[in-house]
Amino acid sequence: MFGAMCDLLVDWGRQVMVSVLEGPRQVLEAMSCGGGAESSGQSGSAGAAAISLTARQRRLLEGIVRRATGAQRLVRRAGIILGLGAGQSAQQVAKRFGVERQTVYKWWHRWRAQSGRLQELEAQEPRDKRLGAVLEQVFMDAYRSGKPATFTPEQIVKLVALACEHPKASGRPISRWSSKELAAEALKRGLVERISRATVSRLLKEARIKPHLSRYWLNAQPQDESAFDAQVRAVCAIYRQAPELHRQGIHVVCTDEKTGIQALEHKSPAKGVKPGWVARFEYEYQRHGTLCLMANFEVATGQIIVPSIGPTRTEQDFLAHIQRTVATDPNGQWLFVLDNLNTHQSASLVQWIA
């Protein structure tokens, strides 16, 4: 009984190996069983579905079939054309490859439709690699439209427009939209029959709309629009001339302050990095008040020069900061671009400059 089982397993393994090698073997048999004689580089044809192949086309098709990493659909389709080119009928090719005759006729029509272009390209293209790539394109699946779109372009545009509205316009007590709120509002307005929050997020991501994010900006409200426009143009003109002025020894500097910087000290020193261990910082800290940073941005070089850090930003603090800045190049000329803060136009600063 044990011997019989062993014989059964051996037979089964042999059948598996035969089935694995059957595809390429069938194709090779198809190339040799046509019965038609070749003359002047072309194969003979027999039957209504027979086609004519040049010697170069046959060689490239055989290369597709023998390719170890070739896709099986390309191997099968190339084998069908080789079989028809060898003079076999559509019924014989269909039986050999285990497909319907409609499949054979499909690729027969595809090849006949492209035969003229292939012959022209074969005469113009001496490289087999290029011609082989074109042959593979013939056996590729045609474009399919796929599943019909769930939402029309009009619906998508309306959803994007809804995301650009303020939630208060829809009577919702929120400051910014979320995907869940947008989905609910779209259903409420009848923009779509149904939609999930995940779909809303995907559509907004494709449209590069991020209603959950916001940034601060300063809305200028000048009393005199014309005077403000002239000042803006003057500052921009100085910035554009900054590189040339710098070569002449004139420094163009933009100066401003950053207030309320917290001076914090961790109660315990940090622990360094170890294998499998990221750096650790003490959660608790001790406050040491706040500090003010005064910095100068030199437009021509893009560097911060002579920063000042102190607990206050009074008139005397700003004057001392300007004096330290000018002291770095006392023989040069300086152009400071400032805002209209009172400490930037104090009497002591005007007297020192004068």
* pLDDT value of position 310: 93
Residue-level pLDDT at 221: 84
- Which pLDDT does position 125 carry in this prediction? 86
Average pLDDT, the chain: 85
Whether residue 77 has pLDDT greater than 60: yes
How confident is the model at residue 104, as a pLDDT?
Answer: 92
* pLDDT higher than threshold 70 for residue 178: yes
CA–CA distance, 205 with 213 (Å, rounded to integer)? 13
How many other CB atoms sit within 10 Å of the CB of residue 183?
20
Region of poorest pLDDT, from 40-54, 205-219, 338-352: 40-54
pTM: 0.46
Q: Which two tokens stand for residue 37?
A: 């004689």
Range 196-222 average pLDDT = 91
For 49-71, how does the pLDDT look when each residue is reduced to its tens digit (9 = 90+)?
678 899 999 999 999 888 888 78
Contact 214, 176 (CB under 8 A): yes
Whether the per-residue pLDDT at 347 is higher than 80: the answer is: yes
Q: What is the pLDDT of residue 235?
A: 94
Cα angle vertex 338, ends 332, 339, to 5°? 170
Q: Which two tokens stand for residue 249?
A: 């020894």
- Mean pLDDT of all residues in 201-211: 94
C-alpha 166: how far from chain center: 29
Grouping H, G, I as helix, E, B as strand and the rest as coil, residue 141 is: coil
Average pLDDT over residues 145-152: 86
The residue ranking higher by pLDDT, 1 or 125, is 125
Per-residue pLDDT tens over the stretch 151-164? 999 999 999 999 99
Q: How does DSSP classify residue 125?
A: -
Q: How far apart are CA 128 and CA 60, in angstroms?
A: 8
Phi, psi at 227, each rounded to 5°: -65, -40
Using one digit for the tens of pLDDT, what is the confidence trace for 263-307? 899 999 999 999 999 999 999 999 989 999 999 999 999 999 999
- pLDDT attached to residue 33: 45
Residue 141: Cβ-neighbour burial (10 angstroms; 0-12, 13-18, 19+): exposed
**From CA 100, how far away is CA 71, in angstroms rounded?**
20
Look at residue 142 and tell me whether its pLDDT is greater than 50.
yes
Nearest partner of 88 among 30, 40, 42, judged by Cα: 30
User: What per-residue confidence (pLDDT) applies to 247?
Assistant: 94
Q: Does the structure show a pLDDT above 60 at 308?
A: yes
Asked whether the beta carbons of 70 and 79 are under 8 A apart, the reply is no
pLDDT of 248 higher than 90: yes
Number of CB atoms found within 10 A of residue 249's CB: 10
Q: Distance between CA 240 and CA 311 in Å, rounded?
A: 35
Task: Give percent of the chain with pLDDT exceeding 90.
Answer: 60
Instruction: Kindly indicate the confidence band of residue 144, based on its pLDDT and cuts at 50, 70 and 90.
Output: confident
Nearest to 109 by CA among 164, 36, 48: 48
Per-residue pLDDT of 310-346, as tens digits, reads 999 999 999 999 999 999 999 999 999 999 899 999 9
The predicted structure's pLDDT at residue 184? 96
* Contact between residue 74 and residue 133 where contact means Cβ atoms under 8 Å apart: no
Chain centroid to CA 62: 39
∠ Cα 65 70 76 (to 5°): 50
Which has more confidence, 24 or 100?
100
Find where tokens 């947008």 sit: 182
What confidence score (pLDDT) does residue 7 get?
A: 56
CA distances from 274 to 267, 269, 277, 279, 311 (A): 21, 16, 5, 8, 38
